[in-house]
């Protein structure tokens, strides 16, 4: 596969990548935060061992973590935007660190602080899987600030060792995040390529029939466009078999590519051009009533007739139908009936269906 860098992505493409990355690792991150909070609570047993009795001094500082954890759960259930959740993940990690500093301040023996930092670095490694580098690296570097602030209260006996230990760990974790982001980028590109293949026709690069399944429900209702008018054009090349017979199938493929390109250029970017089968194309036009779609279809018909496609002159017949809700297959059937009338009336024509043939031109 050709090497692709995030620097080649547009702002919108980067946002889509980071959102996909977050969603892919979101459950893993949730479990991670849960385990981290449970582990933090379990250290109360270590506190009791250090005190040699029930460590009531650190009990509240240990239990306090349940408050931000509950907020984390509530927000996580209602918000899926990586721009909110990725920083929240890191905030949770830093809250655990702050609570650890709080509990450490209350302990008579603070020599195990470095051991706690090892665990937090591991948590940072895992949390970084779901976050953009622009979030993970600054968030991890803030550990140095955490250590400096904590020392104002704890007065580490080995502050220099704290820095010497944590700086290489921070560097290693940041490098790990860079590598993991590149690994996920390859996965993301492969996934997007597969998604495109599922809903795109390989020859013409327009959508295939699967696109309609993607924007409809199990009852074949176009739920995406439930509140707006939708029209459909069914476009068919006249006498296409003659093109294949006289010029060959490769030439026929070029004609199909020409028609697909012409359709995409003739309609709006919000419309859907679908290769329906063989030389037949379906154009889905949301926000367009039947009369408007008819006028667009007539322009398409004239353009195809007048434009040199590099193989041979061709014409198209077009059936147009307005979707009135329910199963979209019924609307396609209406457009197909209109297309039949266009063929029956001599081809190179547009017919609008509305219960009966409304308009026909040649």
Task: Count other C-beta atoms under 10 Å from residue 307's C-beta.
Answer: 13
Say which of 13, 279, 298, 306 is annotated catalytic.
279
**What is the 8-class DSSP label of residue 327?**
B
Show the beta-strand stretches assigned E in the chain: 230-237, 272-277, 280-286, 316-323, 350-353, 357-361
| Residue in the block written with tokens 């996934």 | 191
* d(C-alpha 126, C-alpha 134), whole Å: 16
Q: Using CA of residue 202, residue 204, residue 210, residue 211, what is the dihedral sign?
A: positive
Contacts of 61 (CB under 8 A, 6+ apart): 99, 102, 103, 106
**279 is known as an active-site residue:** yes
Task: Count other C-beta atoms under 10 Å from residue 327's C-beta.
Answer: 14
**What is the 8-class DSSP label of residue 207?**
B
Token pair recorded at residue 154:
């704890």
Residues known to be catalytic: 279
């Amino acid at each position: 596969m050709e090497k692709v860098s995030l620097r080649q992505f547009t702002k919108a493409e980067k946002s889509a990548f980071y959102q996909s990355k977050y969603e892919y690792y979101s459950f893993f991150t949730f479990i991670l935060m849960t385990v981290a909070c449970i582990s933090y609570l379990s250290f109360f047993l270590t506190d009791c061992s250090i005190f040699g009795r029930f460590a009531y001094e650190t009990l509240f500082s240990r239990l306090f973590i349940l408050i931000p954890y509950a907020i984390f759960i509530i927000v996580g259930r209602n918000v899926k935007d990586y721009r909110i959740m990725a920083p929240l993940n890191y905030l949770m990690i830093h809250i655990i660190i702050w609570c650890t500093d709080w509990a450490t301040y209350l302990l008579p023996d603070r020599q195990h602080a470095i051991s706690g930092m090892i665990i937090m670095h591991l948590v940072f490694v895992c949390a970084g899987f779901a976050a953009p580098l622009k979030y993970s690296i600054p968030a991890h570097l803030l550990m140095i600030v955490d250590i400096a602030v904590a020392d104002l209260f704890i007065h580490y006996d080995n502050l220099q060792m704290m820095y010497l230990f944590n700086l290489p760990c921070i560097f290693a974790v940041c490098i790990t995040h860079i590598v993991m982001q590149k690994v996920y980028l390859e996965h993301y590109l492969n996934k997007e390529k597969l998604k495109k293949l599922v809903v795109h026709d390989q020859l013409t690069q327009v959508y295939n029939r699967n696109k309609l399944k993607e924007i409809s429900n199990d009852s074949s209702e176009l739920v995406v466009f439930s509140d707006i008018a939708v029209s459909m054009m069914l476009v068919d090349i006249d006498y296409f078999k003659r093109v294949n017979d006289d010029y060959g199938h490769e030439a026929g493929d070029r004609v199909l590519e020409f028609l697909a390109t012409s359709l995409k250029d003739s309609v709006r970017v919000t419309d859907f051009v679908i290769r329906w089968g063989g030389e037949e194309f379906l154009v889905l036009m949301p926000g367009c009533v039947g009369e408007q779609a008819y006028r667009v279809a007539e322009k398409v018909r004239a353009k195809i007739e007048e434009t040199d496609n590099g193989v041979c002159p061709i014409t198209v017949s077009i059936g147009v139908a307005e979707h009135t809700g329910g199963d979209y297959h019924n609307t396609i059937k209406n457009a197909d009936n209109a297309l039949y009338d266009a063929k029956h009336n001599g081809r190179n024509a547009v017919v609008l269906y509305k219960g009966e043939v409304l308009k026909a031109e040649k």
